[in-house]
Structure 1
Amino acid sequence: MLVKAFDKNIRQNKTTTINTNFVVIGGGTAGVCAAITAARQGTKTVLIQDRPVLGGNASSEVRLWILGATSHMGNNNRWSREGGVMDEILVENLYRNKEGNAVIFDTVLLEKVLEEENITLLLNTSVYDVKKSSDTKIESVQAFNSQNSTEYVIKSPIFCDASGDGIVAFKAGASFRMGAETKEEFGEQFAPDKSYGELLGHSMYFYSKNTNKPVKYVAPKYALKDITAIPRYKAIGKGDKGCRFWWFEYGGRHDTIHETEEIKYELWKVIYGVWDYIKNSGEFEDVDNMTLEWVGTVPGKRESRRFEGLYMMTQQDIIEQRQFDDAIAFGGWAIDLHPADGVYSELSGCTQWHSKGIYDIPYRSFVSKDIDNLFLAGRIISATHVAFGSTRVMATTGFCAQAVGMAASICVDKNLKPADLLEKGEIKNLQNELNKLGQSIPNVPINKSSNLINEATINASSILNLNQIPYNGDWFSLSISAAQMLPFKANQNYKFKVLVKAEETTTLQVDLRTSIKSKNYAPEVILETQNFNLEKGEQYIEISFSNPVPNNQYGFVTFLSNKHASLKTSNNRYTGVLSVFNGVNKAVSNNGKQTPPDNIGVDTFEFWTPHRRPDGQNIAMDISPAIEAFNADNIGNGFVRPYGTTNAWVANLNDKNPSLKIEWDSEKELSEIKLFLDPDYDHPLESTLMGHPEEVAPFCVRNYTITDLQGTILAKKEGNYQTINTWKFDSKIKTKGIIIEAEHPSVNVPASIFEIICS
């Protein structure tokens, strides 16, 4: 029993002081990825989150899906899903939660953090103040947990603000901006005027469900009464739920920090008014048994403060795909700006303009220009309002924050400030360490000298020479144009034979296309056009192009739309081979072609995008000469996904026991073997609501064994589903070689490996 007498003094809360190497403020995708990355490098890390769950806008409190460069498969950014920890989380969620339950996703994130012994996690803990040891250096942050009535003082040499509103950077005095820059400041032609709005608003969602009996609904008095106040009200569907209502947005003309509560009340007004309209207006059938299951209580914030770093990203960096020596990640979401009036606007809910491919994101945008020991992460990084329209999305912020976590570890290990990584030539080291974890920085391969595999001879039991994509699939109607993407050799003339079916006599146009930039996937250059007269019925046509692709890059065998014709498809799928279609994806403002207004600094081009499985079969064809892009010498080239070419060893499906034999001239000591497998980087893996057709990507090697040359088993895996498999040995293994035996994932998908790192 505890009894305390009256105390005339003000009592103090319990206070706990923590000394650590690295502090991350904010537990959204950015903060989680930064903390995990740092912790895995041995850096003692404190992760502070002001909510009871991790994930921020992706958590069960808000329930927005995680997206990034893949953009719902609605742009030309092939194989662009973010790598490293961000990919690991999404692949894990796919395996456990392909239906997209946001509550299950909470557990995936929490487990990932709790598994790291170097992370101290403080949930329900709000940072409210900072202490500085000098004008430009943070000494500690102060935080309070209302659940355990404990105050925390956390001291560290390095801090990362991933809090969304930038509470630490703000309190520390760092330069920041709110609102849109003018066109003149950075020459951004897409910069909005004040009538459109300078801030993106907040959103809140709801879930409904059917019951087995009638459920009445009486709206609260504060619910919106006049549904026509929402100009898009006719777009409301009774079955829509969750973040499909992303356009339930408000607050862009308010202070999105200090007026968040008022914005939340307005969004509740909208949600309960919409549900009243669905249930009681008489405009919807079969809604009697529907009930409101869940309504968000925390608004999903899009924009508030943006802090100034050593470099500020602009529209031109994105659209022109500018390259940076200090690139640490890539982006690919559209420049996605919303009218400030949100749900009450007469305008479209968003204006999305895509670049032709992914773009570099520089390290300098994550380093505060004012505070010596402060990293920026998440949506507060150094970018203009227009560039922020692309960099702000969660898969991109998590991906970028991995670089912050790795950089923080380097700073701690070498007693450096964040800016020192630029001045002391550490960027190449940072890039290489990130790439070894699957970062896939554009144009930056893993350093060959850091991988013993490059000192070895590699022999494969078989290699896929793709001379035929078998004719074992269904017919695909050319009601829309279709193309087969293939990794061509420069200046090679190819011939193709395809099986077509015509409903009547007609003419089919076939193009050979490619991209201006060799590592883009927009079929904007027509190298050659041929026309074929088709008779009614099934028939083969032979296509022989005389104008070859000028570089080692992907080409497109393109079949223009013809409602009277169909193509035979294949059930076989291959790493680095994909079919694309010139269709429509309204989720990302894709109507088949991007046609921007004049003078906004955005390109006009067509969208050729995949179809989600189980659709999206390859086009069946014979190919001569065979596509030779799957050789074992791709192992060791430093790329861990398709990028300009396949970058993978792929076995022949007829090889019943595919294997790689890796031999060194002299004995090597191995402490670690790391395999990079194929989790289909083209699939977005939205974390919630959307759902996915399978729990494991069809290209991923599930079962494999690693032995030494004498047959001693070094590692064995059954039922694998992850991208990167790392085998660390308790003591170094001395060997002159290893053999990797891999099973084909299925009868229609051959085994493949992108990269092997031995160290």
Structure 2
Amino acid sequence: MQIFSSQDSRQFPLQPLQADVLVAGGGLAGVCAALAAARDGVTVVLIQDRPVLGGNASSEVRLWANGATSHMGNNNRWAREGGIMGEIMEENLWRNKEGNPVLFDLVLLDLVQAQPGLTLLLNTTVTGIEKSGRQLQAVHAFNAINQTRYHVSARQFIDASGDGVLGYLAGAAHRVGAESVEEFGEKMAPGEHFGHKLGHSIYFYTKRSAEPVRFIPPGFALKDIQAIPRYKRLTSELNGCDLWWLEWGGRLDTVHESETIKWELWKIVWGVWDYIKNSGEFPDAENLTIEWVGLIPGKRESRRFLGDTLLCQQDIVEQHDHYDAVAYGGWSIDLHPADGVYSEHDGCRQFHSKGTYTIPFRALYSRSLDNLLLTGRLISATHVAFGSARVMCTCGVLGEVVGRAAAICQQQHLTPGELSTPERIGQLQQHLLRQGAYIPRQRLFSPSGAVKVHVSSTLQLSSLPADGGWQPLKSRCALLLPLKAGERLPALKVSMRAAAQQSLQVSLLTSENPANTCGDRHLASQTICVNDQGEYRLDFAWHADCDRYLMIAFAENPAIEIALTNQRLPGIMMVFNSLNPRVAKRTRQINDGDYGVDEFDFWLPRRAPHQVLIAFSLEAPLQLWHRDALLNGKLRPESHTNCWVPASDDSAPVVSWQWSQPQQASQLTLLFDNDFDHAMETVQMGHAQAVTPHCTTHYRVWLDEMLLAEVNDNHHSLCHHALPQGVSFRQIRLELLATAGALPALYGLHLHHQLAIP
């Protein structure tokens, strides 16, 4: 028994903690930042003010995480986020392909709890900071669950808190709301009528029961459904999480009035549900019930902090490649009216760039403080550019960047500003690439040193059999096929048929920017007559000026059918000039208001398992998957396939790296294929497969004659293996033993801390 006598007062216990890096905020940005810093050998404390990790992606909010792939609704092929963010997406697919939000919580908690050097404080709120001059020194925090105060001192600080609690308390320069058109020349800058901030949303889940379910609305539910101009879009078939446009609060202070916004959103949600259940407009809703309603709103926008540069609309639309590019985005510039659900405007205004854009490191730290890095929604960007960079998978990529940058700054006694200089930024960029993060249009220098690569076989592209049935040309479609610089596109034959003679135009397209796949440059066309069933020859006699993807585009003609193949090949796909209504309104982007954006067609793939590929034969084979790709430092298809694929009849594919001198290294990283075009949304939507077909699921790695590792049930594109300390080797041999069903593909082997033995 414990007996406590009366006292004048008591204090909550105080627990002091010390770390190299403190991360405030446990959304995807904060999780990736904390994992990255800890994996780079520094001690980390991650403070999260909620009971779970994930932020807007958690079971508390249930928004699906997405990024540059944009639901596979734009022209950003093979653009899914890599590095730690990609690892999280792939792990969630493996454990949780059905998209259960509670299981996604578990994936994040498991990763963080298992990471050495990382201390996690859940349910803990930052209440104050200590600083000296331009340096943060410590934070004060409080956990109401265990009634404990924390004093956490650190050397480097990462603000991933969404609202910028560290930067705000430290007095860092920041902005709220939209810039004017005149300040940066951004034609998408909104006026007062549209509003200057994005609001919050609360989602809900519905469930169909065996019997009718009565619903009695609360007294605060919205009574007049016509107050919502878009109320006629409501149906009983939609999941409540599809109603992202039930948004409000952009006219208010989205930090200090968040509770006011939450209550208004509850009013809206329960009013919408009352209308669906009780208006009589939806008889099939009789057996529906509410299964879950969010208790906290998903927040889109609040403070944006100022770094040494400001990302703006032109950076995105013109795809500027900054000298200090460390990350990338590809979601549309996605702006919402400040009045949200009560606005007469559409729920969003979305414009895409022609491809991915890069994000500079100078936008990822505070210009006001020497040891505060910024990630997630806080980065140095205008309101317009923020409209693209704010999505969660992009935020996760930015988290890994600042986590690894914080480790470098701590280990080398640098400020982020010093690391951002042209003389130093390369070490961060190369470190990110070596760990498997992807930075568009950059390559890893010397992935394995001075090495010779030998492979057991190499696939050549000569023909794909017509064993997949027939498909009518109901829409424009195109074969994406890459060429090397100076290479001629061989003549090819395709099998087609028609009941009566038909004319068909076939065009050869490419992109002005060789890294894009948007087909905005017309090269040639030819017209063929299709009658009955037969092979039809296409010859454009075109030579590539540089490495680039071509699009062999077939015009729409439903009276013609084209033969398909069941084969699937890495870095090659069919795309369709079609529409994904989640992210676009038309099959072509139209600049319908002089918004300073480009006009171009959307060429979209189909999701697994509904992908298709035409059957064809080439008059001369193409070498698309050469072993040299393992040394070019390019980590995914971009301008070319950039991977090696063994021959289809190679029953035991092997790759060996051989050095003339003994080598030592601390770690090796293998980069396999795991369908970088698959959006892998985290929750709700569900996916057909737990691992993508080309992924290598079973492999062995040998150091000379010593077995380093044998891995079964691999489901990741990135596989890291620690090497024994002090062990030297002249050869690494990789045996590819099994895949998830298709041919394997390998992008590279990266050695870490490679040392030559004299």
Match of 2:748 among 752, 755, 759: 755
1:206 — aligned with what? 204
The amino acid that maps onto 1:321 is Q
- 1:558-590 deviation line (CA, Å, top 9, x unaligned): 111112112111111111111111011110015
Task: Answer yes or no: is the 8 Å Cα contact 1:527–1:549 preserved in 2.
Answer: no
The amino acid that maps onto 1:429 is Q
1:462 — aligned with what? 457
Alpha-carbon RMSD across the aligned residues, in angstroms, is 1.4
CA distance in 2, matches of 1:743, 1:35: 34
Task: Answer yes or no: is the 8 Å Cα contact 1:469–1:618 preserved in 2.
Answer: no
| Offset at residue 443 of structure 1 (A) | 2.4
Is the partner of 2:727 in helix, strand or coil?
Answer: strand
CA distance in 2, matches of 1:207, 1:395: 23
Distance 1:469 1:506, change over 3 A: same
The amino acid that maps onto 1:525 is R
CA distance in 2, matches of 1:686, 1:175: 34
The amino acid that maps onto 1:467 is S
1:646 — aligned with what? 641
CA distance in 2, matches of 1:390, 1:420: 27
2:163 — aligned with what? 165
CA distance in 2, matches of 1:625, 1:248: 56
CA distance in 2, matches of 1:229, 1:84: 45
1:282 — aligned with what? 280
1:352 — aligned with what? 350
2:606 — aligned with what? 611
CA distance in 1, matches of 2:146, 2:392: 30
In the TM superposition, what are the counterparts of 1:290-689 in structure 2 within 5 Å?
Answer: 290-423=288-421, 425-448=423-446, 451=447, 453-491=448-486, 492-535=488-531, 537-689=532-684
CA distance in 2, matches of 1:242, 1:57: 15
1:740 — aligned with what? 734
| Offset at residue 670 of structure 1 (A) | 4.3
Distance 1:753 1:732, change over 3 A: farther
CA distance in 2, matches of 1:474, 1:178: 56
- 1:279-300 deviation line (CA, Å, top 9, x unaligned): 1222223222211000001000
CA distance in 1, matches of 2:55, 2:670: 31
CA distance in 2, matches of 1:478, 1:169: 55
Question: Unpaired segments of 5 or more residues in structure 1?
Answer: none
| Offset at residue 665 of structure 1 (A) | 1.9
1:71 — aligned with what? 70
The amino acid that maps onto 1:682 is D
| Offset at residue 335 of structure 1 (A) | 0.4
TM-score, normalised with respect to structure 1: 0.97
| Offset at residue 750 of structure 1 (A) | 1.5
| Offset at residue 526 of structure 1 (A) | 1.3
CA distance in 1, matches of 2:576, 2:422: 47
The amino acid that maps onto 1:757 is H
Greater shift after overlay, 72-81 or 274-283? Answer: 274-283
The amino acid that maps onto 2:554 is F
CA distance in 1, matches of 2:368, 2:316: 25
In the TM superposition, what are the counterparts of 1:42-191 in structure 2 within 5 Å?
Answer: 42-134=41-133, 136-191=134-189
CA distance in 2, matches of 1:322, 1:483: 27
The amino acid that maps onto 1:724 is L
Task: Answer yes or no: is the 8 Å Cα contact 1:205–1:242 preserved in 2.
Answer: yes
The amino acid that maps onto 2:241 is C
Is the partner of 1:649 in helix, strand or coil?
Answer: coil
- 1:323-356 deviation line (CA, Å, top 9, x unaligned): 1111110111110000111111121110100000
Task: Answer yes or no: is the 8 Å Cα contact 2:695–2:740 preserved in 1.
Answer: no
Task: Answer yes or no: is the 8 Å Cα contact 2:441–2:515 preserved in 1.
Answer: no
TM-score, normalised with respect to structure 2: 0.97
Is the partner of 1:730 in helix, strand or coil?
Answer: coil
| Offset at residue 744 of structure 1 (A) | 5.1
Match of 1:246 among 241, 244, 247: 244
The amino acid that maps onto 1:641 is R
- 1:395-437 deviation line (CA, Å, top 9, x unaligned): 0011011110001001111122221212483211111111111
Greater shift after overlay, 621-630 or 105-114? Answer: 621-630
| Offset at residue 630 of structure 1 (A) | 0.5
Is the partner of 1:740 in helix, strand or coil?
Answer: strand
Is the partner of 2:725 in helix, strand or coil?
Answer: strand
The amino acid that maps onto 2:492 is F
Greater shift after overlay, 72-81 or 275-284? Answer: 275-284
CA distance in 2, matches of 1:5, 1:746: 66
The amino acid that maps onto 2:249 is G
Distance 1:554 1:744, change over 3 A: farther
Is the partner of 1:473 in helix, strand or coil?
Answer: coil
| Offset at residue 718 of structure 1 (A) | 1.5
| Offset at residue 709 of structure 1 (A) | 4.8
| Offset at residue 547 of structure 1 (A) | 3.2
Is the partner of 2:523 in helix, strand or coil?
Answer: strand
| Offset at residue 623 of structure 1 (A) | 1.8
Task: Answer yes or no: is the 8 Å Cα contact 1:460–1:660 preserved in 2.
Answer: yes
Greater shift after overlay, 98-107 or 492-501? Answer: 492-501
CA distance in 2, matches of 1:578, 1:189: 35
CA distance in 1, matches of 2:663, 2:175: 54
Is the partner of 1:287 in helix, strand or coil?
Answer: helix
CA distance in 1, matches of 2:396, 2:548: 29
CA distance in 2, matches of 1:63, 1:456: 47
| Offset at residue 505 of structure 1 (A) | 2.3
1:723 — aligned with what? 717
| Offset at residue 242 of structure 1 (A) | 4.3
CA distance in 1, matches of 2:124, 2:104: 21
Task: Answer yes or no: is the 8 Å Cα contact 2:691–2:740 preserved in 1.
Answer: no
CA distance in 2, matches of 1:733, 1:139: 41
- 1:459-483 deviation line (CA, Å, top 9, x unaligned): 1111111111221113222111111
- 1:206-258 deviation line (CA, Å, top 9, x unaligned): 00111222211111111112222222222222132243111110001111111
Greater shift after overlay, 597-606 or 296-305? Answer: 597-606
Is the partner of 1:754 in helix, strand or coil?
Answer: strand
The amino acid that maps onto 2:199 is G
Is the partner of 1:261 in helix, strand or coil?
Answer: helix
Question: Unpaired segments of 5 or more residues in structure 2?
Answer: none
2:213 — aligned with what? 215
| Offset at residue 78 of structure 1 (A) | 0.7
| Offset at residue 596 of structure 1 (A) | 1.2
